[in-house]
Amino acid sequence: MSKKPPNHSGKIAKEATISFIGMGFGDAIRYIFTAVLARLVGVEYLGIFSLASAITRIGETISRAGLQSGVMRFVSRLDKENEIDEIKQRIKSGLLLGLIFSIIIMVIQLIMADWLAMDLFNGSELLKKVIVISAFSLPFATVMAISAFATQGYKLLKYKVTIMNIIPPLVMLFCVLLSIGIFTKDIAIKYPILISAIISSLVGLYSLRKLTGMNFLEMFKGTVDSELIKFSYPFMFVIILGTLMHWMDILMLGYFTDTSTVGLYHPATRTAGSMRTILVAFMGIFAPIMSEYHHQGELKEMNRLYKLVVRWIISLSLPLAIIMILYSKKVMLLFGGQYLSSANALIVLTISAFIQAFIASSGHTLFMTGFPRVNLMNSTIVLFINIILNYLWIPQYKIMGAAYATLVSMTILAIMRLIEVKMIVKIQPFSIKMLKPIIAGIAMAVVLYGIKPIIFPLHTLLTLSAAVIAGGIIFYVMLWLMKFDRDDKEIWSGISMIIKRNKDS
């Protein structure tokens, strides 16, 4: 008689709650960072920072070569007590390879900086300088990511959240405020990426040392692990394509328009992208557990986990999406009156982000069940479609063209992934329980639309606060009236465990 697999609902709820709280805090700081840049340095400088960030983030993705996910997968499958030597070897190999790749990409970015700034984006000497300085962050950012994902292999998210989601935005915000207060606007956009990467990488290595016992000198004495490379490289291309997809609208807006238009678009895409916090919070613990179930051949548990996580993601992201759609003008006013023209783009990008949150677990499911090449094919096709749509629509419709290109691309990707998971893995996310958040969302939307004429004339912060409070009450009261099942209650158990632990410490 086979042993019944453990019920991981409580584990998922607890770790996802830790991740959500930490990432929510980090995203709030990033949001403040963007708002500070938008208000204090202006649209053009924000556009320059956005383009340099896009180039550097793509460089980071190539530098990592998918190694962070490969290390996380191998560590998650190894016994933490009896296979510690193999765990250390996998991590050391990942760090060494990542450092080599990142130095190569750093040199390439330095060489291409002039062409990127002057020829591709018709930019300025300042854009070139920001690209050059940001290039030096690549080795540090790569070490940071591999270290953070290695800790995730222990099915603990607190280290990864701290390393990747809390420290970088805090350091960046501090750098900008210090630069604007003491130095110049140029300094405010030149150094935040580099300084945050250096500090975060040191914290990442320190956290890894606490878990594995490896000292700093030992960490980069790995050997070339062919098995790790073989597993990681297909995922590298998937992540590269996903990163290109994420930044393609910014890059093509920079090519077809100017840095000011990019600056107007950036707050809208940053705001809509805040829903990814919910997605990543769950995926951090979903991925290693899904991998464990697949390794054990537990298809029934995989199917239950898939449905459960998708329903929780919808329950947490739908209220946020409704507020951003119905009150898009007030949201954009947080960045200043000149960004009001981006309100319609925010609506389209929010719908796109919600679709992405809904389907992303399908991509992780394909990867963790051994089908990274299917993800690669999907990403290639959708990126090609996205580039074509941006090419056709941006010259005519500017930021709205970029927003609609993203929406159409995400919709196509969603359909493809849902069909493939159903056909290949034999699981699907839909269940009758999914109607609960949908019904609650409809009720919330009706109420917020009804009170809009009353609260909209208020100050922006008062309007949004009233919408969040009223919408949150309606949504979660509706869910409560439709009754939580046992798995749903694990979310509150996870929150309670964290609160109790914090009180006791």
Question: What is the 8-class DSSP label of residue 3?
Answer: P
> CB burial class (10 A; 0-12, 13-18, 19+) of residue 432?
exposed
Q: Are 91 and 78 in contact (CB under 8 A)?
A: no
CA distance linking residue 350 with residue 268, whole number of Å:
9
pLDDT at 504: 46
Report the candidate in 150, 166, 163, 162 with the shortest Cα–Cα distance to residue 69. 150
Over the range 184-221, which residues count as b (16 or more CB within 10 Å of their CB) and which as e?
ebeebbbbbbbbbbbbbbbbbbebbeebbebeeeebee
- Model confidence, pTM: 0.75
CA distance linking residue 274 with residue 324, whole number of Å:
11
Query: What single letter denotes the amino acid at residue 368?
Result: M
Instruction: Report residue 240 as tokens.
Output: 């590269």
CA distance linking residue 12 with residue 20, whole number of Å:
11
CA distance linking residue 219 with residue 206, whole number of Å:
11
pLDDT at 294: 65
CA distance linking residue 346 with residue 341, whole number of Å:
10
Residue boundaries of the structural domains of the chain: 9-500
**Sign of the torsion angle spanned by Cα atoms 365, 408, 270, 357:** negative
H/E run at residue 270 = helix 259-272
**What is the CB-side half-sphere exposure of residue 237 using CA atoms within 13 A?**
15
User: pLDDT of the chain along its 505 residues, tens only?
Assistant: 444 444 455 555 565 666 667 777 887 888 888 888 888 887 888 888 889 998 998 898 888 877 777 777 767 666 566 667 777 777 777 788 888 889 999 999 999 999 998 888 877 889 999 999 999 999 999 989 888 888 877 766 777 888 888 889 999 998 888 887 777 788 888 899 999 999 999 988 888 887 777 776 666 666 666 667 666 666 677 677 777 877 888 889 888 888 888 888 988 988 888 777 776 666 656 666 676 676 666 677 777 777 777 787 888 888 989 999 999 999 999 888 888 889 999 999 999 988 887 776 776 677 666 676 777 788 888 889 999 999 999 999 999 999 999 999 989 988 888 888 888 877 777 777 778 888 999 999 999 999 999 999 988 889 999 999 999 899 888 888 887 666 555 555 544 444 444 444 4
Q: Are 272 and 288 in contact (CB under 8 A)?
A: no
pLDDT at 1: 40
Instruction: Report residue 28 as tokens.
Output: 């709030």
Which H, E and C letters describe 154-199, residue by residue? CCCCHHHHHHHHHHHHHHHHHHHHHHHHHCCHHHHHHCHHHHHHHH
Q: Are 286 and 366 in contact (CB under 8 A)?
A: no
- Rg from Cα positions in the chain: 22
CA distance linking residue 340 with residue 299, whole number of Å:
49
